[in-house]
Amino acid sequence: MNIVPVILSGGSGSRLWPQSRSLHPKQFLPLVNKRSMLQNTVARLEGFIEFAKPMLIANEEHRFLAAEQFRQMGIEASAIILEPVGRNTAPAVALAAIKALSDYKEDSILLVLAADHVINDEQAFRHAVESAVSAARDGKLVTFGIVPSHPETGYGYIKSRCQSEDSVQALAVEEFVEKPDQATAEQYLISGDYYWNSGMFMFKASRYLEELKQFRPDILAACEKAIAVEHPDLDFVRLDEAAFKACPCDSIDYAVMEKTQDAVVIPLAAGWSDVGSWSSLWDVAEKDDLGNAISGDVILYDTQNTYVRSEKKLVATVGVHDLIITESDDAILVASKDQDQNVKKIVEQLKAAGRPEAKLHRKVYRPWGAYDSIDSGERYQVKRITVKPGAQLSLQKHHHRAEHWIVVKGTALVTNGDQEILLTENQSTYIPVGVIHRLANPGKLELELIEVQSGAYLGEDDIVRYEDSYGRIREEP
């Protein structure tokens, strides 16, 4: 029986702003090491011989980020299913189950994982997963319960009779409970009968759909309709947008796990964190003798229990404690560590004001490469553009801006109106307003150029596409 890892990658990570943005959220960021959170999740699966290729459920807006991160690892996904809107975990896993039953000749076991978890003890994780397989084969719906290390109020809990710490076996679930207050969390820890709800699961695809049909047939019907006619698009599986938008929103816990009679929990003590905030990232980071965790170019003096992250600039601290300080390409956050849950309030204000810092970084990734907005002012904007070998931008024109392109590194094949020009280092071309053009990299090395835009309107939506290698003709850029 196949075991299909299903990675859920739909979150926005607003509490990890300014690094995490809605169009480049935390699961695609290298927050704990040089790999992104998603890449760490995929790498964690290496060595499970019986596993099939992983399946990813992602937001449609993140599709090229996801595909590129798989490509960087040299790993092929069995499918990247694109959700046009978020509908929580119960529909997402239903899509994966339907897809698995369609793709494989026999029933499959699904291992459902979040794309943004930290697991420090991968051997313990592997042992727990292997212990869950037999229960899943027997028709049980397995959840992984984190053995609590402290009275945490930010997680839901699973109650079951606790076994010895050396025993990893499936235990019957007595109940799921909501996030407790501090006093209740302390009682849970003392009792030894409660685990943190990790949001990781294992079960047969058929069993999950059977239980979903019993308890939430409306969700199952909507998902079956949405994926009935797949729309393959490059590496992606697109859904029927109207059908999926009509799907009710619910979690696996509420829709199935709290109602089924076949829920079991596998205890997991593996240095787990869902990295939902900066303080949780501080929790899992390596610290100095004064409790400080740093990343990047940082100098500390008389500083204690503080998380400091630098990406572009030197960050220095003097005489501070219990703070979160993080610097990105276009924003700086300073927060009290016990208030970091309210970082999302800043994001809400940015969205209300229509500010781009809520959605994008200064550097924006595209399927062909990336651009970095170096400078801007009235009627001008300067970008550093990089194009991957063999990639090309869409054939396009602009109504309100002209562009100058100067090649810094590599070779550019430029369509400029009726001309096709090959440019190398230190050569340039000018594209007037309204002229159809395209930029391509015919070489084997990355192309780097500087683009200077000038005109009355410089928004990214001033673009008319005629041809595109990435299916974006009818989309905004």
* pLDDT tens, position by position, 133-157: 999 999 999 999 999 999 988 899 9
pLDDT beyond 80 at 349: yes
Sign of CA dihedral 140, 144, 148, 152: negative
Core vs surface per residue 424-451: b (16+ CB within 10 A) or e: eeeeebebeeebbbbbbbebeeebbbeb
Distance CA 193, CA 153 (A): 16
pLDDT beyond 90 at 365: no
Distance CA 273, CA 196 (A): 10
Mean pLDDT within 350-361: 93
CA distances from 128 to 143, 186, 227, 316 (A): 10, 26, 32, 42
Tell me, letter by letter, the H, E, C secondary structure of the chain: CCEEEEEEECCCCHHHCCCCECCECHHHCCCCCCCCHHHHHHHCCCCCCCECCCEEEEEHHHHHHHHHHHHHHCCCCCEEEEECCCCCHHHHHHHHHHHHHHHCCCCCEEEEEECCCEECCHHHHHHHHHHHHHHHHCCCEEEEEECCCCCCCCCCEEECCCCCCCCCCCEECCEEECCCCHHHHHHHHHHCCEEEEEEEEEEEHHHHHHHHHHHCHHHHHHHHHHHCCCEEECCEEECCHHHHHCCCCCCHHHHHHCCCCCEEEEEECCCEECCCCHHHHHHHCCCCCCCCEEECCEEEECCECCEEECCCCCEEEECCECEEEEECCCCEEEEEHHHHHHHHHHHHHHHHCCCHHHCCCCEEEECCEEEEEEEEECCEEEEEEEECCCCECCEEECCCEEEEEEEEECCEEEEECCEEEEECCCCEEEECCCCCEEEECCCCCCEEEEEEEEECCCCCCCCEEEECCCCCCCCCC
Residue 364 pLDDT grade (very low, low, confident, very high; cuts 50, 70, 90): confident
Of residues 100, 143, 113, the one with CA closest to residue 11? 113
Rg (CA), the chain: 24
pLDDT at 477: 43
pLDDT at 475: 47
Mean pLDDT within 331-346: 95
Q: Please give the distance of CA 319 from its chain centroid, rounded to a whole number.
A: 35
The residues near 352 (Cβ < 8 Å, ≥ 6 apart) are: none
pLDDT beyond 90 at 229: no
- Are 32 and 272 contacting, i.e. CB atoms less than 8 angstroms apart? no
- CA count, 13 A, side-chain hemisphere, 327: 15
pLDDT at 48: 87
pLDDT at 164: 46
Q: What's the token pair of residue 11?
A: 């979150």
pLDDT at 10: 85
- CA count, 13 A, side-chain hemisphere, 99: 31
Of residues 212, 207, 234, the one with CA closest to residue 223? 212
**φ/ψ (deg, to 5) at 101:** -65, -30
Distance CA 132, CA 173 (A): 14
* CATH code for the domain defined by 3-273: 3.90.550.10
- Are 311 and 329 contacting, i.e. CB atoms less than 8 angstroms apart? yes
Mean pLDDT within 387-402: 96
Q: What's the token pair of residue 224?
A: 């079956």
Choose the weakest-confidence range: 157-171, 190-204, 321-335, 420-434. Answer: 157-171
How large a percentage of the chain has pLDDT more than 90?
Answer: 85
Cis peptide before 18 (omega within 30 of 0): yes
Q: What's the token pair of residue 74?
A: 């040299």
pLDDT beyond 70 at 166: no
- Are 246 and 86 contacting, i.e. CB atoms less than 8 angstroms apart? no
Distance CA 158, CA 146 (A): 9
Q: What's the token pair of residue 464?
A: 């008319």
Length of the chain: 477
How large a percentage of the chain has pLDDT more than 70?
Answer: 96
pLDDT beyond 80 at 232: no
Residue 125 pLDDT grade (very low, low, confident, very high; cuts 50, 70, 90): very high
> Does pTM surpass 0.85?
yes
Domain-wise residue ranges, the chain: 3-273, 278-345, 363-467
Query: What mean pLDDT is reported for the chain?
Result: 93
pLDDT at 114: 96
How far does the chain reach from its first CA to its final CA, in angstroms?
Answer: 42
At the fourth CATH level, the homologous superfamily of domain 363-467 is: Jelly Rolls (2.60.120.10)
In this predicted model, what pLDDT tens digit does every residue of 181-222 receive, in sequence order? 999 999 999 998 999 999 999 999 999 999 999 999 999 999
Choose the weakest-confidence range: 130-134, 215-219, 356-360, 473-477. Answer: 473-477
In this predicted model, what pLDDT tens digit does every residue of 233-270 receive, in sequence order? 777 999 999 999 999 999 999 999 999 999 999 999 99
Distance CA 235, CA 241 (A): 18
Distance CA 388, CA 73 (A): 16
Q: What's the token pair of residue 150?
A: 């402290």
pLDDT beyond 60 at 476: no
Mean pLDDT within 391-397: 96
